[in-house]
Structure 1
Amino acid sequence: MTLQRIDNIGIVVEDLDAAIAFFSELGMEVDGKAQIEGLFADQAVGLDAVRSTIAMMRTPDGHGKLELVQYHHPAAGLDGSHNPPPNTLGMHRVMFAVDDIDDTIARLRRHGAELIGEVAQYKDVYRLCYLRGPSGIILALAEQTG
C-alpha cells in the first residue's frame, strides 16, 4: 500500500456562499460546485437521506484543495460530543487518496479506526469511505477505480 496524496480537506459550513467568498478572498479559486445526494452519499458518510451542496476550492498552484460542504439534510450543527457526526459544523475531515482502500482500512483498524458508514462505490470512478480515528478525528479514503 502506498499513500498517494492528501486529496482535500473537508469543512462543513453554515453558509456556503459566505465561505466561498472568504476563501476566494484568501486567494483560493472555485474549482467546481455540485449537489450531493443519493445512496452513495448516505453510504460514504454514514447518514440517512443526505442532501448537501459542495464547492471545491483550490489553491493557486492547483495542489491544495478544500471541499466546503453545506448540509441541507440532515441539518448540520454542533452537538458537543467527543465523536460528532459527519455533518458537524467546523473542521470535518481529511481525505487521502490510496491505491487499496480495503488494505488501508484493515491496517488502520489495528490502530483503533472504525468505519462510520461503509465503503461506497461512486459510479465507476471511486470507492469511498469515512473512518473515525484517534480522538474522534474523521478521515476519508478514496480509491480511484476508473
Structure 2
Amino acid sequence: MRFAGALGALALTGVVAGCTSSPSPSPAPVSPSAVPASAAPAWTEPASYSFLLTRGCDEAAPLARYQATVRDGRMTTSARVGGAASPGPSADVDLGPVTGDEGEEIEVPTLGELVDMAQTAADDGGRVSTVHDTADGHPVRVVVNVSGAADGDECWIVSDYHVG
C-alpha cells in the first residue's frame, strides 16, 4: 500500500491500519479564508517558507504542534512547540519515548510532501479532505483516513505560513 510508505516516511513510529474507505465524522470547521482544493488558486510550493503544523483533529487538544522552516525546497528545521507526544490513530501501540516524551513523534513534512501524502492516500482509496487558502492556494487543512474507522482520521492543520 503506497500510503503506508508515505505516512511511514513521516512517522518515526506508528503503523498504518488497513486501506479501506467508509464514512467518518466531518473535520472541524475552517476559517472563512480557506476553501476546498477545487475553489482555491493553484499553489506552487515556494523554495523557502515557514509554517506551524498542528497534528490532530481536535484543535483544542492537538496531538502536537511543530514550527518548521523550509529552505531550497527541503525541511531545514522543525521543532516541537509545547506538550508531550501522543500516539495517533495510526499507531498500533504506544512505542514509548522517542524524544524523552511518551508516544509517537513525527518527521515534519514540507507542505509539498503533505500534499503528496494526501494524493497518495486518495489514489489508494482513502478518504481525503484538503482545504486551501483563498489568497495563494497553500494547504491549510488536510484530513486523511485510510483505516475506514470513524475515529481513524489523521489531521494536519497549517498556520502561520510565511514565504521567504
Give the TM interval when normalised to the shorter protein: 0.3 to 0.5
Q: Please, what TM-score do these two structures have when normalized by structure 2? A: 0.31
Q: Please, what TM-score do these two structures have when normalized by structure 1? A: 0.33
- Which is bigger in relative contact order (C-alpha 8 A, separation at least 6)? 2
- Structure holding more helix per residue: 1
